[in-house]
Amino acid sequence: MAIIEEVKNPVLEVHSLTVVYNKQPAIWNVDFTLPKGQIIGIMGPNGSGKSTLLKAIMGVVDANIGYVKVFDQEIEEVRRKVSYVPQRQSVDWDFPAQVKDVVAMGRFATRGILSRLNAEDKEIVQESLKKVGMEAFANRQIAQLSGGQQQRVFIARALAQRAELYLMDEPFAGVDASTEESIIELLNEMRNHGKTLIVVHHDLYTASDYFDWVVLLNTRLVASGPVAKVFTPEILAEAYGSRLTTLSKVADLLAERRFPMRHK
């Protein structure tokens, strides 16, 4: 019944991954593989282990059991090709830095921390800010931006890294509708250039538009596969609990869009 689709030549492999905090598992025995060149949604209720999964992939938290391979290698070997945007609440926004310096950190991730930025790097920083509509704020202190503006700067930093794989933890949290639209356009453009984007997201309504592939978590892996296969009422209920009233609305929405749904 569970849908866990295996991928050939995966961009990411997660094997038996278990992360335990204070004797409580945050993710438990999770196994999946992800395809290259797609936009992949990581979804599941609050506390279901989405952020922990991204941190374990990045090596920010250690796995208690299991391992992860990125581009068929250890994360340490390929870190420059992988860009990570943490969940906004988890970042201390009071540090003194100008917006352009925060974005430039994306270039140092590629060039090494002791290098100097050349003209090309500076151009990439400008271009990245422009892509998220923040070029007018280049000299502003990061602490003096609104939440949604800070989020856009962190996305610009990820863009400046020119990575191959992007892990974004709730990039749409706290951004307005038109910004969300422009960010998803940007992600589509990146995908069309062969990049892989892994995006933690909460909104079930937009997920089927945004994502090619969805990983559903609820401490355990509930499903991993093409969005049309994963978004069935039964699987959503397994991830979110069947009493959630939005689930029936989502099922209606999916029916309207004539997604394939399984009936008993």
Ligand X SMILES: Nc1ncnc2c1ncn2[C@@H]1O[C@H](COP(=O)(O)OP(=O)(O)OP(=O)(O)O)[C@@H](O)[C@H]1O
Burial string for 96-129 (b: 16+ CB within 10 Å, else e) reads eeebbbbbbebbbbbeeeeeebeeebeebbbebb
Closest distance between Mg ion and the C-beta of residue 50, in Å? 5
Q: Which is nearer to ligand X, 9 or 22 (CB)?
A: 22
Q: Which is nearer to Mg ion, 64 or 87 (CB)?
A: 87
Nearest-angstrom CA–CA distance, 179 and 132: 8
Q: Euclidean distance between the first and final Cα of the chain, in Å?
A: 12
Nearest-angstrom CA–CA distance, 191 and 145: 29
DSSP SS3 for 19 = strand
> Tokens 């068929």 identify what position?
72
Q: Which is nearer to Mg ion, 87 or 110 (CB)?
A: 87
**Residue among 35, 162, 29, 150 nearest 108 (CA):** 162
Q: Is 219 in the site for Mg ion (CB under 5 A)?
A: no
User: Site map for ligand X, 54-93, x if CB under 6 A?
Assistant: ---------------------------------x------
User: Site map for ligand X, 23-42, x if CB under 6 A?
Assistant: ---x----------------
Q: Which is nearer to ligand X, 41 or 106 (CB)?
A: 41
Q: Is 220 in the site for ligand X (CB under 6 A)?
A: no
Q: Which of 33, 38, 48, 51 binds Mg ion (CB under 5 A)?
A: 51
Q: Is 48 in the site for ligand X (CB under 6 A)?
A: yes
Q: Is 218 in the site for Mg ion (CB under 5 A)?
A: no
Q: Could you give the C-alpha distances from 46 to 171, 179, 182, 240, in angstroms and in order?
A: 16, 23, 26, 10
Q: Which residues bind ligand X (CB under 6 A)?
A: 21-22, 26, 44, 46-52, 87
Q: Which residues bind Mg ion (CB under 5 A)?
A: 50-51, 87
